[in-house]
Amino acid sequence: MSPSIRIGVPLAFALLLGACASPPSQPPAAATLPAHWSSTLPHGGDPAQLKDWWSRFDDPLLPELVQSAEASNPTLAQALARITQARAGLAQARSALWPQLNATGSLSRAGTRLPPPPIVQTQASAGLDAAWELDLFGANRKATDAAQARARGSALQWHGARVSLAAEVAQAYLSLRACEALAAVYEQEAQSQGKTAELTRSKVKVGFESPSNGALAEAGAADAANRLAGQRAECGAIVQTLVALTGVPTEALRAKLQGRTARLPQAAPFEVDAVPAQVLTQRPDLAAAQQEVAAAAAEVGAAQAQRFPVLSLAGSIAAAAVRLGGVTSTGPSWSIGPALSVPLFDGGRRAAVVDAAQGRYDEARALFEQQARNAVREVEEALLRLEAARQREADAERAAAGYRDYFAAAEQRWRVGAGSLIEMEDARRFALTAQAALIAVQRERVAAWITLYKATGGGWDAQAAEPVASR
């Protein structure tokens, strides 16, 4: 049999089996989404680009804190490290598509004393070995496709982590300003309660107030001081949260925070597309989940291709030298030829690998569907909370103003002796509760804007540049 026939027979046999090769893996299926949002869309918005959306707030410190967090936060550092790993995995997968070439070399020396005289033999060789697996059924190509999808997904996850981190910093900053606003209210209350207790103490001494009212005033002052101390501690804890997020030292951060104490940042409104599918294409986490589905689908194809024959070509060329008894012999050597491996029986191992890959694909597809539905829910909830806070804020403002006026009148009546201390304390409690409720509603409205920014992708788009992962 000629060399061409010896090479052609296994190649033809492998190509014949290629008719049974695995079908191409299915692309990710689109999630079932509603045609329109059921919640009221925000008014007064514009279709402006939401990239760097935190700069659309009226507080210049917030963008600075977000940029500090992006520069030093471990969450983004981990995401960048995952990008490096995914790109290295892609390079490894691509290398399987190319021939492998290795240099070899050896030197050995051996001797024997039997039979006399002693014989010493020296052997040396140097050469090249080459091997190439012909990817007839696409196993290596599918593995490369999976690695490429995961590399894209890791970059998308970095964008998602960036959006989430910015939202987390913004929410913490908002919580701090709301905490400071409530602390300012408690401080005013503590000062007022202190003056009331002092005045009541004087009235008790001259008999104009009963000792029980004096005790009530003292208790009110102590309770106000207690609330103020607790609120200040809560604000301090939020400052430490911002320190952990941004990496800015505590004292430096406190110095930056001095300028706008107790002032809640206000977000600029923006348009939200009426069709959920258009909004959700702006979410990097969904795009990453879709890439994971594509990777899992490619792995199904790679597992199916492993059930078919493997054809590879191998060759080597070397120069050898042998020295024996003072005589040196040299000469080249070479070899080349195909190798065919046909799986016949493996106890069901390859079939189990295919089933496992199919299961991972089904899981990734179901997870993508779940994330898409959760994304719709997040947008719906943010729209609901935004509209509810907008409607409630006007009522809360009227309630706070009314209770402030009522308390001022009750306090004036008590000071001139026309009202009771209990009546005044009730009025104070109503005014304090209404003011705290107003701050809470204002915080909820801004928090709903931040949540809506995040739920609509935070300004990310498919054309966003990939992050640079440093070694």
* 433-445 tens-digit pLDDT: 899 999 999 999 9
- Predicted local confidence at residue 335, as pLDDT: 87
pLDDT tens, 257-270? 998 898 999 988 88
Reply yes or no on whether the pLDDT at 461 is more than 50.
yes
Residue burial 231-254, b: 16+ Cβ < 10 Å; e: rest: beebbeebbebbbebbebeeeebe
Mean per-residue pLDDT, 397-418: 86
Cα 454 → chain centroid: 11
CB 431 within 8 A of CB 403: yes
CA pair distance 105, 97, nearest whole angstrom: 26
Q: Range with the lowest mean pLDDT among 216-220, 307-311, 387-391? A: 216-220
Closest by CA to 340, choosing from 128, 133, 98, 129, is 133
Reply yes or no on whether the pLDDT at 9 is more than 50.
no
pTM beyond 0.85, yes or no: no
Asked: is 3-97+135-308+343-455 a CATH 3.40.109.10 domain? The reply is no
Asked: is 99-134+309-342 a CATH 2.20.200 domain? The reply is yes
- Predicted local confidence at residue 8, as pLDDT: 46
Encoded tokens for 307: 């059930």
CA pair distance 211, 5, nearest whole angstrom: 117
CA pair distance 328, 321, nearest whole angstrom: 7
Residue 300's pLDDT band (cuts 50, 70, 90):
very high
φ, ψ dihedrals at 444, nearest 5° = -60, -40
Domain ranges of the chain: 3-97+135-308+343-455, 99-134+309-342
Residue 20's pLDDT band (cuts 50, 70, 90):
very low
Residue burial 122-152, b: 16+ Cβ < 10 Å; e: rest: eebeebeeeeebebbbbbbbbbbbbbbbbbb
Tell me how crowded residue 364 is: count the other CB atoms within 10 A of its CB: 21
pLDDT tens, 267-276? 888 888 888 8
* AA identity, residue 220: G
CA pair distance 273, 232, nearest whole angstrom: 41
Beta strands 100-112 and 119-134 are antiparallel
CA pair distance 380, 377, nearest whole angstrom: 5
Sorted by sequence, the CB contacts under 8 Å of residue 245 that are 6+ apart come out as: 65, 69, 73, 165, 168, 169, 172
